[in-house]
């Protein structure tokens, strides 16, 4: 039996359908943000603001030291991908 889900329920589509879990979604989102920042050669402060906004949005799903882990992991991901993607 099929279940009904809302067409514009982005939480369901992005987290549950495409990623499978919140942790995998966060990892894929870091890769996307870091790749986009490296491609457009964004400054570190702009990426830090993007990661901070992403952290505020995802704080509902994760708790505790999530903010610190996200900021450190995001900056490390940005640094490594910016070294890989040079144009």
User: For 28-47, how does the pLDDT look when each residue is reduced to its tens digit (9 = 90+)?
Assistant: 888 888 888 888 888 878 88
Query: Which pLDDT score, from 0 to 100, does residue 2 have?
Result: 65
User: For 43-87, how does the pLDDT look when each residue is reduced to its tens digit (9 = 90+)?
Assistant: 878 887 887 788 777 777 766 666 677 777 777 877 787 778 765
Sequence-distant (6+) residues with CB within 8 A of 74 are 30, 33, 34, 47, 48, 51, 54
Residue 27 CB: number of other CB atoms within 10 A? 14
Residue 73 inside a domain? The answer is yes
Residue 2 inside a domain? The answer is no
Residue 67 inside a domain? The answer is yes
CA atoms within 13 Å, Cβ hemisphere of 86: 4
Q: Domain of residue 43: give its range.
A: 19-84
Model confidence band, residue 5 (pLDDT cutoffs 50, 70, 90): low
Buried b (16+ CB within 10 A) or exposed e, 28-67: ebbeebbbebbeeebeeeebeebbeebbeebeeeeeeeeb
Count structural domains, the chain: 1
Cα distance between residue 38 and residue 86, in whole Å: 7
Residue 14 inside a domain? The answer is no
Query: Which pLDDT score, from 0 to 100, does residue 30 have?
Result: 80
Please report, in angstroms and rounded to a whole number, the separation of the first and last CA atoms in the chain: 49
Query: Which pLDDT score, from 0 to 100, does residue 29 have?
Result: 84
Region 16-34: mean pLDDT is: 82
Residue 7 inside a domain? The answer is no
Residue 79 inside a domain? The answer is yes
Query: Which pLDDT score, from 0 to 100, does residue 37 have?
Result: 85
């Amino acid at each position: 039996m099929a279940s009904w889900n809302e067409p514009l329920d982005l939480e369901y589509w992005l987290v549950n359908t495409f990623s499978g879990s919140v942790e995998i979604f966060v990892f894929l989102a870091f890769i996307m943000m870091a790749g986009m920042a490296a491609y457009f050669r964004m400054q570190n402060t702009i990426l830090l603001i993007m990661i901070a906004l992403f952290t505020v949005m995802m704080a509902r799903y994760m708790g505790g030291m999530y903010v610190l882990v996200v900021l450190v992991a995001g900056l490390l991901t940005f640094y490594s991908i910016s070294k890989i993607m040079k144009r």
